[in-house]
Chain A
Amino acid sequence: MEGKLQELAEKYEIPLELITAAIELEKKEIFKQKRKTAPTKLLEMIERYTDS
């Protein structure tokens, strides 16, 4: 999985830590009873990565 993520990050020119963090966020969201905050958090992540 890690190898594939690395490959995709290079192919689509996205930071590896962004896609890894996004997947981790969704994994945690699965265990939550109500799953509505993920899009907002994703937007924050994208903004944070774009700022830097």
Chain B
Amino acid sequence: MGLKLRSIRLKNWKCYQNQEIQFNLNTDKQIWIVFGQNGFGKTSILEAIQWCLYGAKAISDSKLLDHFNRVIVKENPNLEMSVELVFERNGDIYNISRVAKREIQGETARAKVELPVINKNGKNIRDVPEKIEELLPNSCKEFFFFDGVEIKRYAQRIHTKETHRAIERILGITELLNLRHDVKITRKKLDRKFDEVDSVNESLRQVKQKLREIQENIEVKTAQLEGAKLDEKNAIKELEETTEEANKIEELQNKLEQLKDLERNQAISKENLKKATEKLESGLRQAPIPLLIEFVIEVADDMQSTAITTARRSGSVKLLRELLEDQTCVCGRCIDEDSRQFIIKEIESLESGVSSTQEVIRQDEIRNRLETISDYKIPNFQDLLLERDCLQDELETIKLDAYRLKRETKGIDREEAQAIWQTVGEAEQITRQKKEQIERLNKEIEDLKKDEEKQRREIEKLATQDKQTETLAKQAKLARSLYEATDELIEWRTEERKQTIEYRTSKIHRQVTNKPEEYQGIKIQPDYTLGVKNAVGQIIDPETLSAGEKEALAFAFITGLNLASGTAAPLIMDTPFGHLDTRHQKNLITSLPEIPSQVIVLATDRDFPSHLLNIVEPHIAGTLNIRRLGATEDTSVVEEKN
């Protein structure tokens, strides 16, 4: 079982006059929530825990003066305040308490802090800071107690020195790094001792001098190698940046070509749109036709029959005129005067009903047009409108694309593109030179080390001539072997622990990210900064992630480190979710039950909306509420929430 916080007692600490907060551990549930509005004293609880454990490292004595309860201090200026924590681990009870007294000296007040007291199962323990450091290392406190607003910084490119050390501590290599450092000091001491031995003979002294020169040379070459590696790293970075820049410019050149194509397409689209609009307008002008179509057909038919009658009458008039001109009847006999007069009357009668030729032509035209109208087919207006709208959209898109491309390609010319590729070529050359320099230095160091080994063997051989030098040579050899073994152990341990942390962090990250399908996992870089592996295994710089995704990554990293710490310490979070977007908020909250440590969340209502609170309800061991006693009093109390 990991370390769990069982209770906190606060006396005259900030807004708490005499408060005990109990976390009943007789349950399998791990999550505790302490609700309180802003300014009610949530952060004061977190500060109290840190001060009790780490004293001035958490809150300096000068700042501590502001932490005495303001109400009581008016009545009693020489006030005493205290914080007492009770932890439980593997059945053992640890009670840690710290007291501070406010003392008035002349006009000024100061806080006098007593040393913390710790007892295990009721028995006092000596070396209190050491014991606290063992239970909850100060260097790792940021992975046990964290501020929701601050955690984003873990997803940054560079960690602070403190974070760097804290991660080394979690990796379990702090003691190994210290051992390597201390063995180095020990080796120097042994060297000095060797030099001080009176009995060292001349030939041994000469070999030692030669060895020292070789070692100095190795140090110089190693420093050069480190410098060359750094230069190579910078050169590679420079190369990547210039290549990226060159690719961008190349891309812009392509965009310029695209812009020309777009402008051509724009002209074609405009023409098409014009045609479609005309087609639509023509259709709309003829829109009433379907309503008149029956009437038009009737008129056309009427005109048709009139035309036929007129044609028939014209034929009759023509025939009668021919009779008059021939002076003979159709029966072959001569036409008498009566018949002649009758025919003339008939012709007059028929001609009065016949329209003029012009009129006939006009009526024929009208009739033809009416027949065309009667054949009219109703156009599909929906299709016409759709066609016009599509063309309008297309034109709008082209316009927007052209505008965007014009902006993006502003000020780009061919010369600049050529110049940047020249810079890329130079950067490639520098990178190549650095690589060659590193290879050369590695070879030189390797040769020097062989020479060093040869000199050492010579020293060991010569040292056997004297008991004292023989012993010192053996000690130096042992110290050197210990140094090299520690060096290899650090490398192995770091890699092994990093894999554990990467596994833990990746597992939590999959739960809290909005895009689990896009990421393969978390990679911890050699400088302990974070990288996210995308779906194809490339490492993404966390700086490029959205704010919500950065927080999800940082949350996964902190909880992953906490779980890998071996301390299994409580995770105490101060307002961690209220400022997140709803999806990340849900992801983070629903991941809480997966954390095997005790989790205490100091929260506002915004951190736990009711629908999310219901989801984690089965895993909640207890819910507490901070209540303000009155508007004028600076006093809060913590109660169980009903």
Chain A contact residues, CB within 8 Å of chain B: 1, 4-5, 8-9, 11-14, 18-19, 22-23, 25-27, 29-33, 35, 38-39, 42-43, 46-47, 49-51
Contact = CB atoms under 8 A, between A and B. Distances in A.
A42 B478 contact: no
B182 A50 contact: no
Given A23-B176, A38-B182, A12 B129 contact: no
A14 B129 contact: no
Given A11-B485, A19-B482, A22-B482, A42 B175 contact: no
A31 B134 contact: yes
A44 to B, nearest CB: 10
B183 interface: yes
B186 A42 contact: yes
Contacts of B478: 14, 18, 46, 49-50
B178 interface: yes
A26 B479 contact: no
B190 interface: yes
Given A12-B484, A22-B486, A33-B129, 9 more contacts: A5-B489, A12-B481, A12-B482, A14-B482, A30-B174, A35-B178, A38-B182, A39-B189, A47-B475
Contact of B489 (A4, A39, A42): A4
Given A19-B482, A26-B175, A50 B489 contact: no
B475 A50 contact: yes
A43 to B, nearest CB: 5
Interface of B: 127, 129-131, 133-134, 137, 174-176, 178-179, 182-183, 185-186, 189-190, 471, 474-475, 478-479, 481-482, 484-486, 488-489, 492-493
Given A42-B182, A46-B479, A23 B485 contact: no
A33 B485 CA distance: 27
B186 A43 contact: yes
Contact of A42 (B137, B174, B183, B471): B183
A19 B175 CA distance: 12
A8 B186 contact: no
Nearest to A49: B478
Contact of A1 (B130, B183, B486, B493): B493
Contacts of A29: 175, 178
B130 A32 contact: yes
A5 to B, nearest CB: 7
B189 A43 contact: yes
A31 B482 contact: no
10 contacts: A9-B485, A13-B481, A18-B482, A19-B486, A26-B176, A31-B127, A31-B133, A31-B134, A32-B130, A49-B478
A18 B486 CA distance: 12
7 cross-chain pairs, A with B, having the tightest CB-CB distances, nearest first: A31-B130, A26-B175, A12-B481, A39-B185, A8-B485, A12-B485, A31-B133
Given A14-B478, A46-B479, A23 B175 contact: yes
Nearest to B172: A1
B179 A23 contact: yes
B381 to A, nearest CB: 82
